[in-house]
Amino acid sequence: MNRDDIVTYINELLNISEIKDDSHNGLQFKGKSEVNHIAISVDGCLEVFNETNKINADFLIVHHGIFWNRTTVEMINDFWYNRLSPLFKNDINLYGVHLPLDAHPIYGNNAYLNKILDFDFTDRWGTYNGIELGYIGEIEKTDIFELKKKVDTKLDTNSKLYLFNDKKISKIAICSGGGASLIQSAAEINADLFLTGEIGHSNYHIAKEYGINLLVAGHYKTEVGGVKLLGSHLAEKFGLKLSFIDVPTDL
């Protein structure tokens, strides 16, 4: 399969040209033109690049790419030489896609969470950079500890629960990854629980003062679903071999 045809298809499928993002979404490193084997992973990093080489994949898709607005490459120092060497040496294509993959209603990280946790929410929520990333909805009143067990089992994680509201859970807001900036928004629409991947120190008191429970399930674990969904779709559509490279960070 021709690389450029795959790139064009993904660009259009995820609507990357219309979504403002800090990530330089799209083909970040151009390798061989003929693609037979796609690899997918969460992070663009040396460990993933080396593993891509080991399994002889020629097109790698990651959620967290290597080039962002804050990325400055003034010289190819030891860090960049080591990081990029596997891509150069093995002619590997690298495709990075961030917010468009968080937001996509079918192949996105939040769509994956919504489905695997059996929420099936239809209302979008959580505006960031002008797009709604997450979902919000109501379930039958549930004990928060039972819900935590379900999340841990379904996502193969060990989530951290911050209890700032003693009522049973009914209204839930979800946003994958580093969704902590949306805590206030979740509280203002009277969510009992905000499920996300990662929070910072300053978010603790904000949540406490708003009285909203937090369930922090891991940045990696809440963002592994999108690349899996996208990779499976591409492999089926184009008849390509597919491999998942699992490099968890426990964060």
Whether pLDDT at 229 is above 80: yes
pTM for the predicted model, two decimal places: 0.95
Q: Where are the domains of the chain?
A: 3-97+224-244, 103-221
Mean pLDDT of the chain: 96
Backbone conformation region of residue 174, classed left if phi is above 0, alpha if psi is from -120 to 50, else beta: beta
pLDDT at 73: 73
Q: What is the mean pLDDT of residues 13-34?
A: 96
Count helices and strands in the chain by DSSP H and E runs: 10, 11
* The pLDDT value given to residue 75: 80
- The CATH architecture assigned to 103-221 reads 3-Layer(aba) Sandwich (3.40)
Instruction: Provide the terminal-to-terminal Cα distance of the chain, rounded to the nearest Å.
Output: 36
Question: Is residue 28 pLDDT above 80, yes or no?
Answer: yes
CATH topology agreement for domains 3-97+224-244 and 103-221? yes
Burial 110-119 (b: 16+ CB within 10 A, else e): bbbbbeebeb
Neighbours of 174 (CB within 10 A): 31
Which class is 3-97+224-244 in CATH? alpha beta
Once rounded to an integer, what is the mean pLDDT over residues 136-164? 97
Residue 12 pLDDT: 98
* Residue 66 to residues 43, 45, 60, 81, 117, Cα–Cα distance (Å): 8, 8, 12, 13, 30
In this structure, what is the dihedral angle of CA atoms 64, 67, 68, 72, given to the nearest 10 degrees? 140
Residue 74 has pLDDT above 80, yes or no: no
